Amino acid sequence: MRTNTKQGLAPLAVIIIALLVIGGGGYGLKKAVDKKTERKEKEKQEQVEKEKVEKEEAEEAANAARTIHIKLDEQNKSGQKGEATITQIGTSTVKVIVNITGKPSGTAEPAHIHLGVCPKPDAVKYPLTNVDKGASQTEIPNLTLDELLAGLPLAINVHKSAADIKTYTACGNIETSSDLPLTKSAPGTITTTSHRQ
């Protein structure tokens, strides 16, 4: 009788052990699947964050790289000409640098971004720092390059003095490459002119 009990318990013990192994294996498998899912979610989140940072950096780099050069032509036989450079700084500031060469002025020369085009632009849109000793630098806050260009036609105009504001010494139209007339420079190539009169 005792032998039969032992023999009856042996298969039961095997079944219990098998269930424990299967149950433990199932638990281990579930844990492994959960870990894998968690890792995938973490990798996905990291990828989203990485793409967001890359997009922001690309936008900043694109804004920083955008620069417009404006040729300033002589006005009223002033003997002055030069160039203005407009660049976006960060996300909401536009920097305007004006450099004038030629006959020096004895006084500071007011400069502005005007509505309209040279040689007779309209009202002042954005005041700039006076040109002194041939140079001026202005930062216009709360403005992007796209917003500035959306307001075209615009021109940068330099005046003889505060006392003689009606006499212009140099002027140049603000233009983007798509606004410029096309000229053929060589077979198969097209360039844009630097200034429109």
> pLDDT tens for residues 144-188?
998 999 999 999 999 999 999 999 999 999 987 644 333 333 333
Digit-coded pLDDT (tens) for 126-154: 999 999 989 999 999 999 998 999 999 99
Q: What is the pLDDT of residue 29?
A: 65
- Distance, in Å, from the CA atom of 95 to the CA atom of 158, rounded to the nearest integer, reads 17
For 56, the enclosing helix (H) or strand (E) is helix 2-65
Cα separation of the two ends of the chain:
119
Q: What is the per-residue pLDDT for 125?
A: 94
Average pLDDT, the chain: 79
Pairing of strands 67-74, 168-174: antiparallel
Reading across the β-sheet that carries 67-74, which strands appear in turn? 124-131, 109-115, 154-159, 168-174, 67-74, 80-89, 93-102, 135-141
195 burial type by CB count under 10 A (0-12 exposed, 13-18 middle, 19+ buried): middle
Tokens read off for 197: 């009169």
CA quadruple 112, 116, 120, 124: dihedral sign: negative
For the chain, the structural domain boundaries read: 1-64, 66-192
pLDDT tens figures, 31-86 = 777 788 888 888 888 998 888 888 877 766 665 557 899 999 999 998 999 999 99
H or E segment to which residue 17 belongs? helix 2-65
* Confidence (pLDDT) at 192: 31
Q: How confident is the model at residue 1 (pLDDT cuts 50, 70, 90)?
A: very low
Q: 10 vs 119, which has greater pLDDT?
A: 119
What kind of fold does domain 66-192 have according to CATH?
Answer: Immunoglobulin-like (2.60.40)
In the chain, pLDDT over 90 holds for what percent of residues?
Answer: 43
pLDDT at residue 2 is higher than 90: no
Return the exposure string of 74-105: e unless at least 16 CB atoms fall within 10 Å of the residue's CB, then b: bbeebebbbbbebbbeeeebbbbbbebeeeeb
